[in-house]
A and B are shown apart, each in its own frame.
Chain A
Amino acid sequence: MSETIEGIEELNLTRKDFVPGNEVRWCPGCGDYAILAQMQKTLPVMGVKKEDYAFISGIGCSSRFPYYMDTYGFHSIHGRAPAIASGVKLANPDLTVWVITGDGDGFSIGGNHMIHVLRRNIDMNIMLFNNRIYGLTKGQYSPTSFLGKKTKSSPFGSIDRPFNPSAIALGANATFICRTLDVDAKGMQESIKRAQRHKGASFIEVYQNCVIFNDGEFEDVENKATRPDNALFVVHGEPMVFGKDRDKGIIMENHHPKVVQLGDEYKEADLLVHDETNPIITNLLLEMTFDTNNPTPFGVLRAVEDVTYDEMLIEQIEQVTEIKGVGTLHDLFFSGDVWEVK
């Protein structure tokens, strides 16, 4: 039985409706396959008609994604997908718009568009495939590759300090930030649902394994055996607990997060409680990302309601039209000082 959302018309869509006939051409074993599968599986239950989806991408391995979704799609140019998607949404606000991008496309060449679409909070969903490497150009370091990373363009190790895409999203005042893993089917589905239902620009960072050029980059959290001790899955309103035996948690000490063992000294009640709406908590989780003493946080890191550019544009058009009346060409042409030659 497929899941449906309350109050939304049953559209009888299935995964198959979103699978076009063409051959998928990512490398065998690529993390992208799992992401595609979860997208095709999740969209049928979202209550949105298939023809109302538009998938927009730039350039890179991830950006081939629209070709593998049987929806409207636009595979554009390097880095510009957020800008193109902005135009799509503003031209037709009834569409559900997805942007598929990568760490090079979205945060190197397209960094400027990314921060501005998040700042404007245009209603769309942006999925970043972060594999910390350039795949399509065959293995150069990316702006999310760590220092010392040896790649084709950094044979002696990268001297290029990386940044944390989700932290940039917060810096850009994004209203929805979430992080998930290519191999975590449930987490991926949940992320897709939450992001699409969120009004405004939703940002999903996916840790995605590049099997050819950066295999094992996320081994500590991708490996089912080590994941529980290395990943913290946060849930709004619940204490930050993790570990194979759910025996560890996060407290705040000297304004920094710290891992503690649950037991006699620390109880669940002592732990930090996740609050999606509190930027201090989101910041704290983002700080943990690169800190080897702390687990890597996953889940919805931030979700707040705020005004969206697309709604305000429509409202402004309505308001001005109400005050001035529907513009006619005659009014426009005669709006200056007009004289008649007889």
Chain B
Amino acid sequence: MSKKVVRINEATIRFAGDSGDGMQLTGTRFTEATAIVGNDLKTIPNYPSEIRAPTGTLAGVSAFQLMFGSSRVFTPGDLPDTLVAMNPAALKVHLRDLKKGGTILANSNAFTAKNLKMAGWEGDPLTDGTLDSYTVYSMEMSKLVGKALEDSDLTSKGIERTKNMFALGVLFWMYNRPLEPTEEWLKKKFAKIPGLAEANITAIRTGFNYGETTEIFSTSYLVEKADLPKGNYRNITGNVAVAYGLVTAAEKAGKELFLGSYPITPASEILHTLSGLRNFGVKTFQAEDEIAGISSAIGASYAGDLAVTTTSGPGMALKTEAIGLAIITELPLVIVNVQRGGPSTGMPTKMEQSDLFQAILGRNSDAPIPVIAAQDPADCFMCAFEAARIAMKYMTPVILLTDGYLGQGSGPWLIPDPDSLPEIKPHHPDSSAASEEGFMPYSRDENEARPWALPGTPGLEHRIGGLEKENITGMVSQDPDNHEVMTAIRAKKVANITAEIPPMEIFGEKKGKVLVLGWGSTHGSIHVAVERAQKAGKSVSQAHLRWVNPFPSDLKEVCDSFDEIIVPEVNSGQLALLLKAELIRPIHQLNKVRGEPFRASEIEDKINEVHG
């Protein structure tokens, strides 16, 4: 029987199963195979905050979604075309998102009476007509891998565990992906456990052959290579990209990298990645708490390392006082906040952009700090690099905002040539900097930056601290005039960074009816929505802020060129409020606080409403 191959431009797949079913791994392997084929793609995981919620429950469902295509892909897709449901709970949670007429791949062996009841199904949706408007491939995955591996040394539980690889094999067949990269990866991963790699490879091939030979599948899909800019690519998550950006900045500055951090979801992967880079001279310090994380980093900065602390919202709250210390002592420091839903513990594994006020405003007193926000997983690399460069050049802490969507989501990264990145030249004065009157630790360069004098330098002994210091001399001072001078200098230092911000990029006409202005991880959804609206003939453009403090110098000019401004944010309107104050004009807000990113369609609807 010859099967049909249909060419499609893009596809969105969601893998859903119990937390123990290995859905993140399955999704990641499909992603790697897809990247190697040359498609553009974006991914997003979606997992519960419990490590292993009770098996079979709705709370225990873990999912991973990716969109891939033969042209540029800006988001992990709105609604999936294909849903892999490893149990009834996964189907229950994710069915509502599946496109009408979409495809479901289900492990029918998991649809037992007990599991169905636990997931809240009255009957068996695979057989009772519930799914009539979808294409359903109900497969006895557990049984099929059991048969295929009956001669293996694995326990029955171990064999059952390979069912995710069976599902992966079926998908590899459906979407014409190569098996080799996953097989090679399995061999490496399980090199020390005999039999395990082979069993998983058998499961994949069983799934692939099942698609190829059984009659239930009649069609497979081909997504051609995307036309990406030339160069070497790899798939990268935002958290890994942040880690790499920091290592790169340290290398470019001739510095050792110090990370003081406390584990927190969804930021921990930055700590994990950097702790594996000892041979890059990276010093990771898993501190006793969030406060010690930033405090140790401030100490390391004082002593001359490129110092970093990484966290998420609740950790930022704890670090607040120490951020003020870094501001008043004017020490370089990179503070990474991988935002999550809040307040308090909130929704640790869900994304949100609601720490913008906290980043820009959330400290006692006038305590300005530069804030940069990454717009996609790969962009986290350059944003981390820039944050470090600016911190050292202007002698200031810098906050880098990403979020769980960027940090744990992934996309292809065009690997840069290290030589093409700017050098960073931190200025450490030597003994000659001490005059007759002694060393002046708060003297200023043309950017108002003070010298980064390192302990160990003879003749430059000086004291810094959280008490207000006299400008130039650095002596403790409670003088009112001096406090005004220092407050103004701290503000000016941040304002000076405007000179580093390139002109805003406009997607679309530079003048028109509607501008959709965003920041951070909404970039992809906005882009897709604006592109669709443009194709529908609407006068709409996109601009996106990378630096949110300070704003780019041409912000007003750009905004003045449009009649209406829409600001979509995954919060209750934080940038919108700042913009109202900055631009003194009305803003159309589009806000979503559901712990998930925008769908392009939601933004498109808002464009249509405002544009008319």
Is A215 in the interface zone, CB < 8 Å from B?
no
Q: Is the CB of B299 within 8 A of A87?
A: yes
Q: Interface segment, A36-44, A154-162, A275-283, A323-331?
A: A323-331
Chain A 38-57 interface residues, beta-carbon cutoff 8 Å to B:
49-52, 54, 56
The answer to whether A75 and B464 touch (CB under 8 A), given A324-B279, A339-B36, is yes
Q: Is the CB of A88 within 8 A of B279?
A: no
Q: Is the CB of B298 within 8 A of A84?
A: yes
Q: Is the CB of B415 within 8 A of A87?
A: no
Question: Closest B-chain residue to A320, C-beta based?
Answer: B278
Closest-CB distance, B71 to chain A (whole angstroms) = 13
What count of chain A residues pass the 8 Å CB interface test? Answer: 56
Chain B 441-487 interface residues, beta-carbon cutoff 8 Å to A:
454-467, 475-476
Q: Within the complex, which residue of B231, B244, B256, B301 is in contact with A332, where a contact is CB–CB below 8 Å?
A: B244
Closest-CB distance, B168 to chain A (whole angstroms) = 16
Could you mark each residue 10-50 of chain B with 1 if its beta carbon is under 8 Å from any beta carbon of chain A, else 0?
A: 00000000000000000000001001101000000000000
Q: Which residues of B contact A66 (CB under 8 A)?
A: 463, 465
Q: Is the CB of B299 within 8 A of A88?
A: yes
Q: Within the complex, which residue of A49, A77, A338, A342 is in contact with B234, where a contact is CB–CB below 8 Å?
A: A338
Q: Is the CB of B291 within 8 A of A83?
A: yes
Q: Is the CB of B455 within 8 A of A72?
A: yes
Chain B 262-321 interface residues, beta-carbon cutoff 8 Å to A:
277-281, 283, 285, 287-289, 291-292, 295-305, 307, 321
Chain A 54-72 interface residues, beta-carbon cutoff 8 Å to B:
54, 56, 59, 66-67, 70-72
Closest-CB distance, B224 to chain A (whole angstroms) = 13
Question: Closest B-chain residue to A327, C-beta based?
Answer: B280
Q: Within the complex, which residue of B298, B321, B461 is in contact with A87, where a contact is CB–CB below 8 Å?
A: B298
Q: Within the complex, which residue of B244, B258, B325 is in contact with A77, where a contact is CB–CB below 8 Å?
A: B325
Q: Is the CB of A67 within 8 A of B463?
A: yes
Chain B 324-358 interface residues, beta-carbon cutoff 8 Å to A:
324-325, 329
Is B578 in the interface zone, CB < 8 Å from A?
no
Closest-CB distance, B587 to chain A (whole angstroms) = 38
Is B201 in the interface zone, CB < 8 Å from A?
no
Q: Is the CB of A51 within 8 A of B303?
A: no
Question: Closest B-chain residue to A115, C-beta based?
Answer: B288
Q: Within the complex, which residue of A50, A75, A330 is in contact with B465, where a contact is CB–CB below 8 Å?
A: A75
Q: Within the complex, which residue of B36, B258, B418, B461 is in contact with A329, where a contact is CB–CB below 8 Å?
A: B418
Question: Closest A-chain residue to B285, C-beta based?
Answer: A90
Question: Closest A-chain residue to B325, C-beta based?
Answer: A77
Q: Which residues of A contact B460 (CB under 8 A)?
A: 51
Is B228 in the interface zone, CB < 8 Å from A?
yes
The answer to whether A341 and B304 touch (CB under 8 A), given A72-B455, A75-B464, A336-B235, is no
Q: Which residues of B contact A71 (CB under 8 A)?
A: 461
Q: Is the CB of B295 within 8 A of A116?
A: no
The answer to whether A87 and B300 touch (CB under 8 A), given A80-B292, A329-B247, A342-B230, is yes
Chain A 219-260 interface residues, beta-carbon cutoff 8 Å to B:
none
Is A113 in the interface zone, CB < 8 Å from B?
yes
Could you mark each residue 3-30 of chain A with 1 if its beta carbon is under 8 Å from any beta carbon of chain B, else 0?
A: 0000000000000000000100000000
What count of chain B residues pass the 8 Å CB interface test? Answer: 69
Question: Closest B-chain residue to A322, C-beta based?
Answer: B279
A56 to B298, CA, bound (A): 12
Q: Is the CB of B462 within 8 A of A72?
A: yes
The answer to whether A88 and B232 touch (CB under 8 A), given A112-B292, A320-B278, is no
Closest-CB distance, A100 to chain B (whole angstroms) = 12
Is B322 in the interface zone, CB < 8 Å from A?
yes
Q: Is the CB of B288 within 8 A of A116?
A: yes
Most buried by B among A91, A324, A340, A342: A91
Q: Is the CB of A341 within 8 A of B291?
A: no
Question: Closest A-chain residue to B292, C-beta based?
Answer: A83
Q: Is the CB of B466 within 8 A of A86?
A: no
Is A153 in the interface zone, CB < 8 Å from B?
no
Q: Is the CB of A337 within 8 A of B303?
A: no
Question: Closest A-chain residue to B303, C-beta based?
Answer: A91
Q: Is the CB of A336 within 8 A of B236?
A: yes
Is A316 in the interface zone, CB < 8 Å from B?
yes
Is A206 in the interface zone, CB < 8 Å from B?
no
The answer to whether A326 and B279 touch (CB under 8 A), given A74-B299, A91-B256, is yes
Q: Which residues of A contact B229 (CB under 8 A)?
A: 341
Q: Which residues of B contact A56 (CB under 8 A)?
A: 299
Q: Within the complex, which residue of B231, B287, B465 is in contact with A76, where a contact is CB–CB below 8 Å?
A: B465
Q: Which residues of A contact B456 (CB under 8 A)?
A: 51-52, 72, 92, 94-95
Question: Closest A-chain residue to B258, C-beta based?
Answer: A91
The A/B interface has a contact count, at CB < 8 Å, of: 204
Q: Is the CB of A77 within 8 A of B251?
A: no
Is A317 in the interface zone, CB < 8 Å from B?
yes
Q: Which residues of B contact A336 (CB under 8 A)?
A: 234-236
Q: Which residues of A contact B307 (CB under 8 A)?
A: 87, 91
Q: Is the CB of A112 within 8 A of B289?
A: yes
Is B142 in the interface zone, CB < 8 Å from A?
no
Is A212 in the interface zone, CB < 8 Å from B?
no
Q: Which residues of A contact B329 (CB under 8 A)?
A: 74
Is B101 in the interface zone, CB < 8 Å from A?
no
The answer to whether A83 and B299 touch (CB under 8 A), given A77-B322, A90-B283, A339-B232, is yes
Could you mark each residue 271-302 of chain A with 1 if its beta carbon is under 8 Å from any beta carbon of chain B, else 0?
A: 00000000000000000000000000000000
Q: Which residues of A contact B292 (CB under 8 A)?
A: 80, 83, 86, 112-113, 116
Question: Closest B-chain residue to A323, C-beta based?
Answer: B279
Question: Closest A-chain residue to B277, C-beta based?
Answer: A327
Q: Which residues of A contact B256 (CB under 8 A)?
A: 91
Q: Which residues of A contact B283 (CB under 8 A)?
A: 90-91, 313, 317
Q: Within the complex, which residue of B300, B458, B461, B466 is in contact with A90, where a contact is CB–CB below 8 Å?
A: B300
Is A139 in the interface zone, CB < 8 Å from B?
no
The answer to whether A92 and B278 touch (CB under 8 A), given A56-B299, A83-B295, A87-B295, is no
Question: Closest A-chain residue to B438, C-beta based?
Answer: A21
Q: Is the CB of A325 within 8 A of B462?
A: no
The answer to whether A333 and B295 touch (CB under 8 A), given A52-B455, A75-B463, A313-B283, is no
Could you mark each residue 393-418 of chain B with 1 if its beta carbon is under 8 Å from any beta carbon of chain A, else 0?
A: 00000000000000000000001101
Most buried by B among A70, A71, A74, A113: A74
Is B562 in the interface zone, CB < 8 Å from A?
no
Q: Which residues of B contact A113 (CB under 8 A)?
A: 288, 291-292, 295
Most buried by A among B233, B296, B325: B296
A74 to B469, CA, bound (A): 12
A74 to B229, CA, bound (A): 49
Is A73 in the interface zone, CB < 8 Å from B?
yes
Q: Within the complex, which residue of A51, A73, A74, A95 is in contact with B459, where a contact is CB–CB below 8 Å?
A: A51
Question: Closest B-chain residue to A50, C-beta based?
Answer: B461
Closest-CB distance, B302 to chain A (whole angstroms) = 6
Most buried by A among B232, B416, B459: B232
Q: Is the CB of A339 within 8 A of B234?
A: yes
Closest-CB distance, A320 to chain B (whole angstroms) = 4
Q: Is the CB of A332 within 8 A of B247?
A: yes
Closest-CB distance, A110 to chain B (whole angstroms) = 9
Is B248 in the interface zone, CB < 8 Å from A?
yes
A324 to B282, CA, bound (A): 14
Known: A73-B462, A74-B329, A83-B260. 12 other contacts (CB 8 A): A73-B464, A74-B465, A87-B285, A87-B297, A87-B305, A88-B300, A91-B299, A94-B456, A113-B292, A116-B288, A327-B279, A341-B228
Residue pairs across A and B with Cβ atoms less than 8 A apart, 19 shown, are A54-B302, A66-B465, A74-B329, A80-B295, A86-B299, A87-B295, A87-B296, A90-B258, A90-B285, A90-B300, A91-B303, A92-B454, A113-B291, A320-B279, A321-B281, A327-B277, A327-B280, A339-B35, A341-B230
Closest 4 pairs (CB-CB, A-B) = A87-B299, A75-B465, A83-B295, A91-B303
Q: Which B residues have a C-beta under 8 Å from some C-beta of A? A: 32, 35-36, 38, 181, 228-236, 244, 247-248, 251, 256, 258, 260, 277-281, 283, 285, 287-289, 291-292, 295-305, 307, 321-322, 324-325, 329, 415-416, 418, 454-467, 475-476
